[in-house]
Homo-oligomer: A and B are copies of this chain.
Amino acid sequence: MGKDDFVKEITNIEDDFTQWYTDIVRKAELADYTDTKGCIAIRPYGYSIWENIQNYTDKKFKEVGITNLYMPVLIPESMLQKEKDHVEGFAPEVAWVTIGGGEKLEERLCIRPTSETMMSTMYSKWVKSWRDLPILGNQWCSVLRWEKETRPFLRSREFLWQEGHTVHETQEEAEERTKMMLDIYADVIENLLAIPVLKGRKTPKEQFAGAVYTYTVETLMHDGRALQAGTSHYFGQNFTKPFEIKFQNREGKEEYAYQTSWGISTRLIGAVIMAHGDNRGLKLPPKVAPIQVVIVPIAQHKDGVLENVRKIYDKLNKNFRIKLDDRDNCSTGFKFNDWEMRGVPVRIEIGPRDLENNQAVLVRRDTNEKEIIEISKLEERLTSLLEEIQKNMFNECLKRKEEKTTVAYSIDEFIKNLEKNQGYIKTMWCGDVACENKIKELTGAHSRCIPFEQEHLSDTCAICGKKANTMVVWGRQY
């Protein structure tokens, strides 16, 4: 590879977004394909993003009383079948273990596609009285769903996630928890990943198999397609009845508990790539970036340069996730491109003249703006600069979301908006699944959600013209 044609190897983002995405995933060493079809290897740089998401989220979970636990990866077939909607939703896409220790199993075991059935089975053993409630369990683990078409992070047969499962004494408490966990996801996605969310409730057609209702946080990608970034489900007693999670309530009567589940996954890495990336490659929000700052020494072969730069590195290393690129087998230009492609938010350039003048050059990944700063003020400036970048990246995404959100009062208008813009399309909706099916058939778009923040656009459904009280947001999806 030539030293200066680095960026050319990434497909232009406007020409072929899908190929651009794959190029970034592989060239930035986020993930790689494996010999297990449909499954990826998450490389250290990609996994480090996941660790940052985990750390931030797990802390928020613990602040609201969530405790981590771990359930078996294998679920007996009879257990999976206890809740009717659930098994219909998941059975077609599971992987079955039929042989263990050299022998054919009497009952086959599936690799968990999600753990409602296993959690509910165990919870039913642990709950006797209202005093045992709530149980606020969560596990960080991998799950497997036999997808036909796969794409790294976005749709992989195996993926990493967390699945929270709670049981409660009252419907009210369970519904509050469903909302509380959605709000944590919104916090993670907006404040850590710098992507604005649209919050709402899924239509019954799009909700989780077995839920009473599903809340969702939706996000919009660079190309105007939507990505469901996290969901929180209220189950009512749909699982607690077949799995017999019952307890003696405060009045001494037996009652079935009320249940929730909620999850986010390594999909969020895909969201970060697609929401922020550009033609120079990945662009990472400082809070989630594995490397927040890279120092590239200029003319590093010259006397004293590396020595002095290392001292600066050592000092900054205490407060930032920082990397010193002292490779001697590639040019400075190559290094600039390389770290831009990997999405590092800030580059510091320091050469002999800078050292003489007691200064350094800072370059922002998000705007490409340069500034010169006294070395003694580096630490202070980096702190504020990283915050500015985080904020600016969020605002850029918010601007796109606003630009790409349109209103449609008829199918024709819907189709026109979608072709022009992709993005979110708001319409009034009568509540009939037939209208959802029609939109999907005509445009490939799905209802994203019934937003919590409702607007009354008109009195009639944009699809069928019948009376409508509900505003729905639609879009094509990943």
Contact = CB atoms under 8 A, between A and B. Distances in A.
Interface in A142-184: 142, 144, 146, 148, 157-158, 160
Contacts of A79: 35
A72 B122 CA distance: 27
A95 B99 contact: yes
A98 B100 contact: no
Contact of A92 (B74, B98, B102): B102
A463 B99 CA distance: 42
The size class of the interface chain A forms with chain B is: 35 or more
B35 A76 contact: yes
Interface stretch (A42-50, A206-214, A270-278, A296-304): A42-50
A35 B70 CA distance: 14
Contact of A41 (B44, B72, B102, B108): B72
Contacts of A329: 131
A10 to B, nearest CB: 19
A141 interface: yes
A96 to B, nearest CB: 4
Contacts of A431: none
A72 B158 contact: yes
A47 B69 contact: yes
A204 interface: no
B32 A44 contact: no
Given A97-B96, A97-B111, A42 B70 contact: yes
A7 interface: no
A39 B72 contact: yes
Nearest to A40: B72
Contacts of A40: 72
A192 interface: no
Interface in A345-379: none
Contact of A101 (B68, B76, B122, B148): B148
A146 B74 CA distance: 12
B36 A122 contact: no
A122 B32 contact: yes
Contacts of A34: 71-72, 118, 121-122
A39 B72 CA distance: 6
A109 interface: yes
Interface string A94-128: 11111111100000110100000010011001100
A449 interface: no
B92 A69 contact: no
A325 interface: no
A67 B96 contact: no
Contacts of A160: 70
Contacts of A75: 36
A101 B93 CA distance: 4
A73 interface: yes
A5 to B, nearest CB: 19
Nearest to A58: B51
A40 B47 CA distance: 27
A69 B43 contact: yes
Contacts of A74: 36, 39, 95, 144, 158
Interface string A80-98: 0000000000001111111
A137 interface: yes
Contacts of A126: 32, 43
A16 to B, nearest CB: 24
Given A41-B72, A68-B47, A72-B158, A146 B36 contact: no
A97 B42 CA distance: 22
Given A32-B122, A95-B100, A137-B44, A73 B111 contact: yes
A36 B109 contact: yes
Contact of A48 (B36, B67, B99, B125): B67
A322 to B, nearest CB: 14
A146 B99 CA distance: 10
Contacts of A95: 74, 97, 99-101, 109
Q: Nearest 8 A-B pairs (CB), nearest first? A: A101-B146, A44-B67, A39-B72, A96-B99, A42-B70, A95-B100, A36-B72, A100-B146
29 contacts: A32-B122, A32-B125, A34-B71, A34-B72, A34-B118, A34-B122, A35-B76, A35-B121, A36-B72, A36-B118, A39-B73, A40-B72, A41-B69, A41-B71, A44-B69, A44-B137, A50-B70, A70-B142, A73-B111, A73-B144, A74-B95, A92-B102, A93-B101, A94-B100, A94-B101, A95-B97, A97-B98, A98-B98, A141-B142
